[in-house]
Amino acid sequence: MENQIICGESANLLKQVPEGSIDLVVTDPPYLCRYKDRDGRTLANDDNAGAVLPVFDEIYRVMKPNSYCISFYGWNAVAAFTDKWASLGFHTVGHFVWHKPYVSKTGFARYCHESAFLLAKGYPRQPDNPISDVQPWEYSGNKAHPTEKAVSVIAPLIRSFSKPNDLVLDPFLGSGTTAVAAALNGRDYIGIELEQHYCDHANRRLAGVKQMREREQVNLYGV
Ligand SMILES: C[S@@+](CC[C@H](N)C(=O)[O-])C[C@H]1O[C@@H](n2cnc3c(N)ncnc32)[C@H](O)[C@@H]1O
C-alpha cells in the first residue's frame, strides 16, 4: 500500500494495514459541521460522526508505538473528537492554530482560524527543534476540493514529526495534500479517500511530484 492513493472507506481499508506500521498520521477529517461553501459544495460524511470517528480506532491500531497523529478538527464538534481520542488512549501533547488573513464566515464571531491537535500514542521523542504552535496560513484556493489545505500548511508538520523515508498516513486525504507534502519531503505515504474524483485528482498531483523529482535527478546526476 505504500506510496498509493486508495479509494474507499478508511475504517474498512485500514484493516489491511498491519498494526504498528505507520510512523506519522497527519489528517484533516470532516469537521462534523454540515459544511457548505459559497458554491454549495459539501463534504462526504460531514453530517455523520458514525462514519468519521471509527476511523480513529484504526488509526490508533496502525500507528507505531510512541508515534504522533496530528488531526485538524472543527471547534463545533470538539467534544466528539476529544472524547474519541481520549477513549482510544491518545495523549494530547500539543495544539496548533493557524490564523487566516481572511474571514471564512461571520456569525457570532469573525471566524478566521484553523486548529489541529497533536496526539501521541505512547511517549514519542520530542522534536529536536520544535515548531511554533501558531503557524502561518496560506489559502489553497480550494479549486479542486472545498476544504483543500495548502502544502505549505502541512509540510512543516511532516518535517517536524517524521524523518526522511518514514511512512505517513492520511485516511481523509481529500485532494491529496498530505501525500504531496510527504512525497516532496522524501517521506513515503498512504492516502485514503472516499470520493473517486478526489482520488483521481490526488493521483494527478502525485504524478506531477514524481516527474519533478525525476527531473531533479537528471539535473543533479545527469541520468
Ligand atoms: C476535510 S476533507 C480533507 C481535505 C484535504 N486535507 C485536502 O487538502 O484536500 C475530508 C475528506 O475525507 C473524505 N472522507 C470522509 N469520510 C471518509 C471515510 N470514512 N473514509 C475515507 N474518506 C472519507 C471526504 O470525502 C473528504 O474529501
The pLDDT tens digits of the residues spanning 95-112 come to 999 999 999 999 999 999
CATH superfamily of 4-221: Vaccinia Virus protein VP39 (3.40.50.150)
9 CA → ligand 1 middle, Å: 10
Any residues with Cβ below 6 Å from ligand 1, and which?
9-10, 28-30, 43-45, 51-52, 55, 145, 147-149, 171-172, 174-175, 177, 192-195, 198
CA dihedral 129, 135, 138, 142 (to 10 degrees): 110
Percent of the chain with pLDDT over 70: 100
The residues, ordered by sequence, that sit 6+ positions from 211 with a Cβ below 8 Å of its Cβ are none
Residue boundaries of the structural domains of the chain: 4-221
Evaluate whether 22 touches 178 at the Cβ level (below 8 Å). Answer: no
| pLDDT tier, 223 (very low <50, low <70, confident <90, very high otherwise) | low
In this prediction, residue 178 carries a pLDDT of 98
| Residue 219 pLDDT greater than 90, yes or no | no
The residues, ordered by sequence, that sit 6+ positions from 91 with a Cβ below 8 Å of its Cβ are 119, 120, 123
Alpha helix (H) ranges present in the chain?
10-13, 49-52, 55-62, 78-88, 151-161, 177-184, 196-221
Instruction: Give the Cα separation of 221 and 48 in Å (integer).
Output: 50
Predicted TM-score (pTM) of the model is 0.96
Instruction: Give the pLDDT mean for 183-211.
Output: 97
Q: Ligand 1, atom 5: nearest CA belongs to which residue?
A: 174
| pLDDT tier, 218 (very low <50, low <70, confident <90, very high otherwise) | confident
Q: What is the pLDDT of residues 20-59, one digit of tens each?
A: 999 999 999 999 999 999 899 999 999 999 999 999 999 9
175: nearest Cα among 142, 137, 212: 142
